Structure 1
Amino acid sequence: MPDGRGDAVVVFGALFGTRYPHLVAGAVARGLTVLGVDARSPGKELVDRARRTDAGHPLAGLDQLAWIDAERPEQLLEQVIEWGRQHRVRAVIALGEDFVEPAATVADYLGVPSPGLRAARVCRNKLLQRRMLSEVSPLSRLLSAEERAGGDPGWDTFPAVVKPVARQASSGVIRVAGPAELRAALSEYEPGEPVLVEQLVEGHEISVEALVQHGEVIFSSPTGKRTNEHGGDFFVEMGHTAPDPELDAATTAAVLETNTRVLRRLDFRDGIAHAEYRIGADGTPVLMEIAARAAGDSILMLYHLATGVPMETALLGIALGEPTTYPPVRRYARQVYLPHRPGILRDVTADGLGTPVTWLDERWMWPPVQPSPAGAPARIQMIMAGRPAGTALAEIRQSGDRSSMYVIDAATAGELDAIEARCTAAIEVHTDVRTEVAA
């Protein structure tokens, strides 16, 4: 018999939803109450204020928000149990990386779809990924605090990459050329922080976005990546293209087959996965890392433009346990992050392009995009300044150092490159370089 409770979905890391603008609105359109959890921070408080005061904000439909840190899993579970007294919680979705594992635990308790406990646990830990997925991973070693403190990390394969086990968004990832650089890099981490050193893998970098239901991949596609690694020691993502135009059919097939094997090894059940690979000189994909959540930056937006359908629609359907499909790509889309000179941000201009620059802090939401017909001319979908004017911009060493970006789409890869060239020539990030900015 009906118990009087309405259906609801719980979104962990809910205020990341500005990057996934169709999730909350799509759930509300289905008649679901959207309940959110997030960790309090100054930036997220600004987003929360915007969604409560702006009816056009993509998170305006969020019914309740609980401020709880991901490091408090018991309180997270208790909050969902409390909500369950008024609502029938039918779905749990994690947007924030920190919430992946606790969200899977809550989903397991409720008996609703999720990537699964094994997938969630391994995807949150770079060392577990290297050990459980060793057949597709580079050579690596976990350095103990004693090895780091003693000055002899016991590693002799260079160049190498040093990365903290539990961080995200390129934070702390650095390239080292030899033993002296390795020792210097290791001194920058917290004394007890787990750190991996691993073989540097050269080659084109991609991600694979995969939708999985009942353990079967229902959609997957390679997304091309650009980083700022050339000419520097860091690996910050500076661009994405969906689908990747640089891969031939054979390499694409090899990448997708490898990714399917990885998902099966993880017993990935229901949800979305974001895996990153390097393509070796022989065409072999090598796993960099994998996440049991939607991709960051604008990657889901790119697939909205490439397919014509928001990927959040499929993500929600999978979370609800409904039979779900997602269409193939029919167009190319690209996000480009703009370089800048360290200094005080004064302005971002785009003279002659006919597309205004949107400042994120005006409404704390990303501008909406509109998919074009498959054969339509190339289009600039948005130009956005992600940091307020007056912000001190430093060298781009991690994702949070980036300041501005734009999104474009086109019918062909050649047309996409042409409109990017127009944007590159016209868009400028203006900084006052007379002001010293600490790295």
Structure 2
Amino acid sequence: MQTDEPGAVVVLGALFGARYPRLVPAATERGLTVLGVDTRTPGKERFDQARRSHPEHPLAGLAELVWIPGDRPEQVLDQVVRWSAGHRIRAVLAFGEDYVEAAAVVADCLGLPGPGLRAARVCRNKLLQRRYLADVSPRSRLLPADRRVEAATDWAHFPAVVKPVGREASSGVRRVADPAALRAALAGYDDTEPVLVEELVAGHEISVEALVQHGEVIFSAPTGKRTNESGGEFFVEMGHTAPDPELGPARTAAVLQVNREVLARLGFADGIAHAEYRITADGRPVLMEIAARAAGDSILELYHLATGAPMEEALLTVALGEPTSYPATRRYARQVYLPHPPGVLADVRADGLDAPVTWLAERWMWPPVQPRPADADASVQMVVAGRSVGAELTEIRQSGDRSTMFVIDAPSPAELDRLEARCVAAVTVEVRAELPTAVAA
């Protein structure tokens, strides 16, 4: 093993790290070599090409990338062991949900900081979360793939939520109103896919982002959520606010305490956790799910704006086993995804806003955020079109169906709300109806 270098950091789901722009630069600034693993897909190949082509890309400092799917942890471990012949491996991080267990295996095998095998395994499986964390979870039942309809026959708690056990990003999650709707929803899943049915919990939805070191929570905060569930059957996240201005001190303290207890039950040792809760009318936090990785969308960027410090740098020092702290929030930040009608995307405009529209497909990187002093005026940080002109837009049933978003920050919730209203009025998602299918004569 070579020891004449500061060492190397292994990032699993590395190209997903384009959403976390300070991680790779923070590592390379320390002299660390960044080694990446990811799953080859057309989208990931475009990010790979972008990071090779643009020196300013947040992943430009990635020294090496290999393609290994996340569901092959033994191959991932073997690759990291091979890297260790030429590098002193000092840390491993998982950005993609599908690499959480592989990262835990690598950390456990090499004696590196990580969340722990139990935490990783439970956080990757919705059923295990319900069983390990039953005291803070809704009532639920597993519907095995080979007898889903039979197992659901006497389920009587409606409205209910149906969710595949192993998926992510709201994929396949549906609301059902009665037994007939439940049977119809079950018919839409793959024949080999186990499904969870659980009682619907009404209440304000949040996530909790928690940095943990040596089993102690060193930072946690509630992030307000919005979904498109009102009037529909899906639960796609359409907005995030950091920190959540709606909870109030008592409910914030309650949910952060429950989250600490959840992390302790999982034996969560080192890393970042992203847990989602519903807060009932009487203030009770109910766990929806928990992930042993950083949040998706732009939530880490929201905390960069809210605290003035990039969370990726704290996440890196935790992974390296170095003493870590992270500042309290001092400002409010929000990401908003805009709805769109079905059709073909024709244009996205942001008339009268300070930030231009960034078309993600042009450079495959998001604009960097610019943190401001705590009392500075509200600002528009970015407007991003995530789909290309000509893309078919459908009903938003999962995260990948969304098309356009903006990120803003402000010194107070009221100013944040006012700027959001101005952005919603200014940003136009122009969609043309699909051409009718030609009818043969």
The structural deviation recorded for 1:53 is 1.0
Percent sequence identity is: 70
What secondary structure sits across from 2:7 in the alignment? strand
8 Å contact from structure 2 (residues 3, 87) kept in 1: no
Equivalent position SS for 2:222: strand
Q: Alpha-carbon deviation of 1:149?
A: 4.6
| Distance in 1 separating the partners of 2:301 and 2:190 | 36
Structure 1 counterpart of 2:380: 380
Residues 95-244 of structure 1: matches in 2 within 5 Å? 95-150=95-150, 152-244=152-244
Match of 2:261 in 1: 261
Aligned-partner Cα distance in 1 for 2:246–2:7: 44
SS at match of 1:397: coil
Q: What is the TM-score normalised by the length of structure 2? A: 0.97
Q: Deviations over 1:238-277 (max 9, x none)?
A: 0000000001100000000000000000000000000000
Q: How far apart, CA to CA, are the structure 2 residues paired with 1:153 and 1:25?
A: 54
Give the drift of 1:354. 2.9
Deviation at 1:68, TM superposition (A): 0.4
1:138-195: CA deviations, max 9, x gaps? 0000012343254853311100000000000000000000000000000000112110
Kindly provide the amino acid, as one letter, of the partner of residue 415 in structure 2: E
Give, in whole Å, the separation in 2 of the partners of 1:436 and 1:292: 45
- How far apart are 1:60 and its partner, in Å? 0.2
- The whole-number CA distance in structure 2 between the counterparts of 1:298 and 1:129 is 25
AA paired with 2:329? V
The 1-side partners of 2:151 and 2:436 are apart by: 33
The 8 Å contact of residues 144 and 151 in structure 2, kept in 1 or not, is answered as no
For residues 85 and 152 of structure 1, the distance between their equivalents in structure 2, rounded to whole angstroms, comes to: 52
In structure 1, distance between residues paired with 2:395 and 2:389: 17
Corresponding residue of 1:19: 19
RMSD of aligned residue pairs (Cα, Å): 1.3
Answering whether residue 290 of structure 2 is matched by residue 290 of structure 1, we say yes
CA contact (8 A) 1:212 1:219 kept: yes
Query: Corresponding residue for 1:75?
Result: 75
**Residue 353 of structure 1: CA displacement?**
1.5
Give the aligned length: 437
On the 8 A contact 1:301/1:310 being kept in 2, the answer is yes
Q: Quote the offset at 1:305 in angstroms.
A: 0.1
Q: Which residue of 2 aligns with 1:362?
A: 362
> CA 1:152–1:107 in structure 2 vs 1: closer, same or farther (change >3 Å)?
closer
Partner of 2:56: 56
- Retained in 2: the 8 A contact 1:8–1:87? yes
Q: Does 1:353 align with 2:361?
A: no
User: Partner letter of residue 99 of structure 1?
Assistant: Y
* Long gaps (5+) in structure 1: none
For 2:41 and 2:164, how far apart are their aligned partners in 1?
Answer: 23
Counterparts of 1:117 and 1:433 in 2: how far apart (Å)?
Answer: 49
Corresponding position: 1:389 with 2:389: yes
Corresponding residue of 1:245: 245
Equivalent residue for 1:318? 318
Deviation of 1:106 after TM superposition, in Å, equals 0.5
2:432 equivalent in structure 1: 432
What SS does the corresponding residue of 1:368 show, helix, strand or coil? coil
How far residue 362 of structure 1 moved from its aligned partner, in angstroms, is: 1.1
AA of the residue aligned to 1:8:
A
Match of 1:87 in 2: 87
> Which consecutive residues of structure 2, in runs of 5 or more, have no partner in the other structure?
none
Deviation by residue 1:275-308 (Cα, 9 ceiling, x = unmatched): 0000011100000000000000000000000000
Secondary structure of the structure 2 residue equivalent to 1:87 = coil
Check the 8 A contact 1:162/1:198 in 2, yes or no: yes
| Counterpart for residue 29 of structure 2 | 29
Contact 1:344/1:393, CA 8 A, preserved across alignment: yes
Residues of 2 paired with 1:251 and 1:371: CA distance? 28
In the alignment, the residues of structure 1 paired with residue 57 and residue 383 of structure 2 have an alpha-carbon distance, to the nearest angstrom, of 18
**One-letter code of the match for 2:118?**
R
8 Å CA contact 2:204–2:280 kept in 1: the answer is yes
* Alpha carbons 2:159, 2:200 under 8 Å: kept: yes
